[in-house]
A and B are shown apart, each in its own frame.
Chain A
Amino acid sequence: MKVKTLFLTLSLFFAINSFAEETHSNTEGERNVRSEYSDFKNHHLLDNHSFKLFKYETEEKTKYVSFPLPIILWDNGIQMFLSSKFYFGKKEAEHNGNFYKLYHNKIYKTNELGVINYDENHKILNEKPLDFSITKNVVLILICLILMIVIFGKMAKSYKNNSLPSGLGRFLEPIVLYIRDDIARPNIGEKHYKKYMSFLLTVFFFIWFVNLFGLTPLGSNVTNNIAVTASLAVLTYIITTFTANKNYWGHIFWMPGVPGPMKIILAPIELLGTIIKPFSLMIRLYANMTAGHVVLMSILGLIFIFKNWIGGTLSFGLAFSLSLLELLVCVLQAYIFTMLSALYFGAAVEEHDHENH
């Protein structure tokens, strides 16, 4: 019930606006459908300044139903306005005497005519204000945050009265226990695993939920944004670096048990390794989810290429089975991220018996 009210308030908070746009002429035939679908696919993979739900066509116009999202810019002070002022990048927006234009999903400062200037290398010369906007990805991260607080807060409260979980907790308790007993304990060690549990659980459920949102028709793709995965990987890096004991640093800068000159060669390689580890975490999550989305969208695009019942059936069957595979990939990527994070934490707090070397 609570979740329902939450969604209701959220949708009331953002008034639904519908924007109108002139239709493209459909005279160019198949070429047009292909390029339109390719545009649609590329747009789906990008972050957006408005939350587009669906579009429909009336006799003269194509109408979009979408939520406008707040734009927050740092340009001699904070500038705040709604993205509906841009009309999907068709118009420049005026705010406090400044003019801004949305061009390929980036906001530029322009004059009152909204002109974008280029230099001879086709680089944009316009000034770019710092963009702190609440974009589509940020909204989905916030929804995921609220969902997690509600679900896990309720779950934690239900343990106060009796030790048996109730409701959704019955489904989530085995997963929490699995992360504790099969990921954290064997990889980090009995002595230290407790202080890393909160991070591991949060990161697992965050990635999983956000990936599952990506499979809904909302058109969200939070982990398809490399900045999101980068910040997750940076958190792993920071925790590894700041909780590491002296053995960890000893193994990086002065590897025990190898000859002297070798130690000097190994030190920079090992130091580089500490950065490559979170880097590979970032790339893995980002690339896996993006690849999944691209393949799924391309298979759906077969409908528009074949334009007959064979293509439609084929596309539907393939997309359905691939979606099931994606459900598995969602949880697998969350598992691998958590697992490898636990492995790196384990390496940071490992204690060695140097007499036995």
Chain B
Amino acid sequence: MEIPKIIGGGLVVIGAGIGIGRIGGSALEAMARQPELTGKIQTVMLIAAALIEGIGFAALFAL
């Protein structure tokens, strides 16, 4: 029972990592295109990253 749990937790963390990476990358692109919207994009980026991070931590705690 231990091994599937650990693998599942690892998969969730990988998924969360990819998700946060994509958010950061897209935000960077958007900021490069429209530097005047940097503040707004940063706020939305942080909220989305925080929400995904929550799922990652939930997976770690379920282990």
Where the two chains meet, the residues of A that have a C-beta atom closer than 8 Å to any C-beta of B are 182, 280, 283-284, 287-288, 332, 335-336, 339-340, 343
Contact = CB atoms under 8 A, between A and B. Distances in A.
A222 B53 CA distance: 21
B54 A283 contact: yes
Max chain B Cβ within 10 angstroms of own Cβ: one of A283, A332, A335, A339: A283
7 contacts: A280-B58, A283-B57, A284-B50, A287-B61, A288-B53, A339-B47, A343-B47
Shortest 3 CB-CB contacts between residues of A and residues of B: A287-B57, A280-B54, A336-B50
A contacts with B: majority SS: helix
Contacts of A283: 54, 57-58, 61
Interface residues of B, number: 12
B contacts with A: majority SS: helix
Contacts of B53: 284, 288
B46 interface: yes
Contacts of A335: 46
Given A182-B43, A280-B54, A284-B57, 20 more contacts: A182-B39, A280-B58, A283-B58, A283-B61, A284-B50, A284-B53, A287-B57, A287-B60, A287-B61, A288-B53, A332-B46, A335-B46, A336-B46, A336-B47, A336-B50, A339-B46, A339-B47, A340-B47, A340-B50, A343-B47
Interface in B16-63: 39, 43, 46-47, 50-51, 53-54, 57-58, 60-61
Contacts of B51: 280
B12 to A, nearest CB: 13
A287 B53 CA distance: 10
B45 to A, nearest CB: 11
Nearest to A336: B50
Nearest to A226: B61
Max chain B Cβ within 10 angstroms of own Cβ: one of A287, A288, A343: A287
A98 B33 CA distance: 72
Contacts of B54: 280, 283-284
Contacts of B50: 284, 336, 339-340
B54 to A, nearest CB: 4
A343 B50 CA distance: 13
A185 to B, nearest CB: 12
B25 to A, nearest CB: 19
Contacts of A339: 43, 46-47, 50
Contacts of A332: 46
Contacts of A284: 50, 53-54, 57
Nearest to A284: B54
Max chain A Cβ within 10 angstroms of own Cβ: one of B43, B47, B57, B60: B57
A283 B55 CA distance: 10
A325 to B, nearest CB: 15
A332 B53 CA distance: 13
Contacts of A182: 39, 43
A120 B23 CA distance: 52
B39 to A, nearest CB: 7
A239 B59 CA distance: 28
A335 B58 CA distance: 20
Contacts of A340: 47, 50
A123 to B, nearest CB: 22
A280 B54 CA distance: 6
Contacts of B58: 280, 283
A182 to B, nearest CB: 7
Nearest to A337: B50
Contacts of A343: 47
A331 to B, nearest CB: 12
